Amino acid sequence: MKQYLKHDEWCIIEEGLKPEYNEISESIFSIGNGRMGQRANFEETYTGHTFQGSYLAGVYYPDKTRVGWWKNGYPEYFAKVLNAPNWIGIDIKVDGETLDLAKCEVKSFRRVLNMKEGYLERTFTAKMVNGTEVEVNSKRFCSLVKDESAAIRYSIKLLNYTGKLTVMPYLDGDIINKDTNYDEKFWDPIHEEVEGQSGFITVETKKTAFQVCTGMQYVIEQDGQALDLSPYNTQKAKYIDSTVEFEAKEGQETVIYKYAANVTSFNHDKSEIQDLCKKTVADAVAKGFDAMLAEQAAAWGSKWEEADIVIEGDVAAQQGIRFNIFQLYQTYTGEDERLNIGPKGFTGEKYGGSTYWDTEAYCFPFYLATADQKVARQLLIYRHKHLQKAIENAAKLGFTDGAALYPMVTMNGEECHNEWEITFEEIHRNGAIAYAIYDYIRYTGEQEYLIDYGLEVLIGISRFWAQRVHFSERAGMYMMHGVTGPNEYENNVNNNWYTNLIAKWCLSYTLEAIDYVKNNAADKYKALEEQIKFYEYTETNKWKDIIEKMYLPTDDELGIIVQHDGFLDKELLVVDDLKEGDYPLNQNWSWDRILRSVFIKQADVLQGIYFFEDEFDEETIRKNFDFYEPRTVHESSLSPCVHVILASVLGKKEKAYEMYIRTARLDLDDYNNDTEDGCHITSMAGTWMAFVKGFGGMRVYNDTLQFAPYLPEQWASYAFNVRFRGHYIKVNVDKTQTTISNHADEALSLKVHGKDYEIAAESSITI
Ligand code: BGC
């Protein structure tokens, strides 16, 4: 854990250059707009530790799989999020010496991520080897309004010198992924051009043939006047630069505006991207940096109005939740149904593929409650579009007749993960995809979704479960062997309770969905039956049998659910038995030792209890929480949030708070010692869930919104907003009361702490 960032309500602040933490900061201070993202690398040369990263949504490369021992069924490739052309570069020379903070005496340094207005700012003063002292301030952002545009304002003052300043803005497409299996470069050159103060490069991905045109134009001002420059330009494959030299007087401010665009063939026809890129850059120049930044601030203002959470009395917690919300909206805006939410968003490359079960299990509720309904719907449609591929994926493993197994990791619907114990065995992911459909309908009431899209996906998933279980003659029950539950610290187990439960639930829910569609859209049901060759009678009879006889391991003596067969025969240590140097286990213990130990990576039994909480009484929840939580090391960022929610149900306020701070500040304080690889974007939605479902107690049952808010002792008050079926609801909780306001032209019926209330249109209640 590292605590070097300053606490502030709206900004992330780093004071003083810490080269040893630079890659962590580069992740944390990343900027993005759902279409592109950029790590917080320096514009000028930096020869210290750095992980340069620019990413473009939807543009990927199918890197040839690398495994020790090939297993039939493995995918041929692992889709990599691509490190794309560097558009931020501006090299600076003073009197011939390159400005490089790794070589200067850095006198002051401050990096600020302004989350309110959506930009990154960096200010420093440094003494160069030649004795020149420089003061630099740079601001940059990826525009939320024009999502193919970005802009930089880079100002430099020579503090003790009058002389020659050389400025070289450049674009570099000769980029190599940090994450590559065979150290290959993934980009081929297509076109370069540079003229005057603008330049463009077009590069193409190998194999997938995505083209990207990255463009720039720069303007340099002194004393508010644009300089008339005659640049010296160079170009080579995948690269252009433009060099200008002029005099800067001691104390005089020189401002470089660099306007950039990234236009990709993921969004446009290849024949158009170069022209579009030129136009996008020209439009940005015409608008100007200040006007673009003002638009940016306004766009973020609207986002915050919808999605902000305010905490009074705890700046660290406030900063944490805003950082999570900010990064989520930098990653996914819901405007494009082909996109999804990668575990690292645009902040790094680890987990190279884009979509995991994280989306449905953790991110979905956030977008469902803080954005227009269509945003969450897009996430469902994404999986609907991939159904055919999920069927092919299952077929590759030997399943038949339309059984669908969604991939563990995917970019385009195809599986690209290749560790057998996860790819083939961590099949519970299928359940989360069905659960998100259920969650969407429960929350929005849009049952029609089942008719047009949902049912088809549910049947594919149920068909898979019906083939994946086997009947144990000995026990007279259905079982599932050789699976990996959410706890990846144990693989290839038999009868993981969570997996068996979610399979059984999927089958039941699909039966309900069939009834609904049959009764409400008989024609469409018939058409679907024919299209997917669904033999309702035979198939659903088998499902009913499985539902009735599914084995769900429990232990009567301890009164708990058993994570999987044999779990209780382990040495039942608890986390308190571990020593200081053991953490995190995945960095200090051999994999063998981890697998044999009792320690749990992330919520597993508790994940099931969280999903189906209404089916468990409080005593059962308590016994399981008290048994499993002390054995959980939370080494998946997805773990603490579920524990906040259940600890809240159980009135374990201290535990809930401890887990909340851990999830909210996971990256800011680098809890898991891995933020340098990128931020944990999907778990950030878990933070929101922890807040609203944990502290706010939000649930939806029987079409009714419920809250059961409480205030952590450490705080003076908090407030959050949710959208619910056309209502915009604000919940304020302080030490004495809860106020809920209903911004809608209709009354809202709801439950608070189990009691019924009605809030008239545009009014509020105080409890
Ligand atoms: C977790 C998985 C998760 C993946 C990507 C792993 O560490 O165990 O549950 O899907 O990270 O976030």
613 as an active site residue: the answer is no
Q: Active-site residue among 14, 192, 426, 488?
A: 488
Residue 352 has pLDDT above 90, yes or no: no
- How many angstroms separate the CA atoms of 439 and 366, rounded? 12
Strands (E), 522-624: 554-555, 560-561
Give the amino acid at 558.
Answer: L
The answer for residues whose C-beta is within 8 angstroms of residue 655's C-beta and 6 or more apart is: 629, 643, 647
Please provide the DSSP assignment of 682-728 as one string.
HHHHHHHHIIIIIIS--EEETTEEEE-----TT-SEEEEEEEETTEE
Q: Give the mean model confidence (pLDDT) for residues 337-366.
A: 92
- How many angstroms separate the CA atoms of 569 and 445, rounded? 45
CB of 490 shorter than 6 A to ligand 1: no
- pLDDT for res 182: 87
Domain ranges of the chain: 5-305, 372-552
- How many angstroms separate the CA atoms of 733 and 534, rounded? 50
Best CA proximity match to 45, nearest among 193, 217, 166? 166
DSSP symbol at 86: B
- How many angstroms separate the CA atoms of 204 and 265, rounded? 9
What are 465-514's pLDDT values in tens digits? Answer: 999 999 999 999 999 999 999 999 999 999 999 999 999 999 999 999 99
Nearest CA to ligand 1 atom 11: 636
- How many angstroms separate the CA atoms of 739 and 696, rounded? 12
Share the mean pLDDT of the chain.
96
Residue 739 has pLDDT above 80, yes or no: yes
The answer for residues whose C-beta is within 8 angstroms of residue 541's C-beta and 6 or more apart is: none
- As a CATH number, domain 5-305 is 2.70.98.40
Contact 292, 33 (CB under 8 A): no
Best CA proximity match to 27, nearest among 521, 668, 750? 668
The model's confidence at residue 68, banded by pLDDT at 50, 70 and 90, is: confident
Distance 41 CA to ligand 1 centre (A): 26
CB of 358 shorter than 6 A to ligand 1: yes
Residue 353 has pLDDT above 80, yes or no: no
- pLDDT for res 81: 86
Q: Give the mean model confidence (pLDDT) for residues 695-716.
A: 97
- How many angstroms separate the CA atoms of 118 and 298, rounded? 9
- pLDDT for res 179: 87
What are 102-129's pLDDT values in tens digits? Answer: 999 999 999 999 999 999 999 999 999 9
Gyration radius from the chain CA atoms: 27
Best CA proximity match to 85, nearest among 193, 175, 206, 194? 175
- Tell me, yes or no, if the two domains 5-305 and 372-552 fold the same way: no
- pLDDT for res 43: 98
Please provide the DSSP assignment of 344-367 as one string.
TTTS--TT-SSB-THIIIIIHHHH
Residue 583 has pLDDT above 90, yes or no: no
Task: Name the architecture of domain 372-552.
Answer: Alpha/alpha barrel (1.50)
483: left (phi over 0), alpha (psi -120 to 50) or beta: beta
The model's confidence at residue 32, banded by pLDDT at 50, 70 and 90, is: very high
Distance 636 CA to ligand 1 centre (A): 6
What are 185-207's pLDDT values in tens digits? Answer: 999 999 999 999 999 999 999 99
The model's confidence at residue 52, banded by pLDDT at 50, 70 and 90, is: very high
- pLDDT for res 22: 97
Residue reference for tokens 């198939």 = 539
Q: Give the mean model confidence (pLDDT) for residues 14-23.
A: 97
Nearest CA to ligand 1 atom 5: 343
- pLDDT for res 155: 98
Contact 486, 603 (CB under 8 A): yes
- Indicate the SS3 state at residue 479: strand
**Which residues pair with residue 600 across a beta bridge?**
632
What are 207-222's pLDDT values in tens digits? Answer: 999 999 999 999 999 9
Q: Is cis: bond before 584, omega within 30 of 0?
A: yes
The answer for residues whose C-beta is within 8 angstroms of residue 338's C-beta and 6 or more apart is: 58, 266, 382, 385
Least confident piece of the model among 357-361, 439-443, 532-536, 580-584: 580-584
CB of 351 shorter than 6 A to ligand 1: yes
- pLDDT for res 354: 85
Distance 718 CA to ligand 1 centre (A): 30
Q: Give the mean model confidence (pLDDT) for residues 633-650.
A: 96
Best CA proximity match to 122, nearest among 135, 109, 105? 109
Residue 294 has pLDDT above 80, yes or no: yes
Share of the chain above pLDDT 70, in %: 100
**What pTM, to 2 d.p., does this model score?**
0.95
CB of 407 shorter than 6 A to ligand 1: no
- How many angstroms separate the CA atoms of 707 and 692, rounded? 9
What are 522-566's pLDDT values in tens digits? Answer: 999 999 999 999 999 999 999 999 999 999 999 999 999 999 999
Contact 536, 514 (CB under 8 A): yes
- pLDDT for res 181: 87
- pLDDT for res 137: 98
The model's confidence at residue 365, banded by pLDDT at 50, 70 and 90, is: very high
492: left (phi over 0), alpha (psi -120 to 50) or beta: left
Nearest CA to ligand 1 atom 1: 636
- pLDDT for res 574: 98
Residue reference for tokens 């991520």 = 113
- How many angstroms separate the CA atoms of 142 and 50, rounded? 20
The model's confidence at residue 95, banded by pLDDT at 50, 70 and 90, is: very high
Share of the chain above pLDDT 90, in %: 96
Give the amino acid at 730.
Answer: K
**Which residues pair with residue 158 across a beta bridge?**
134
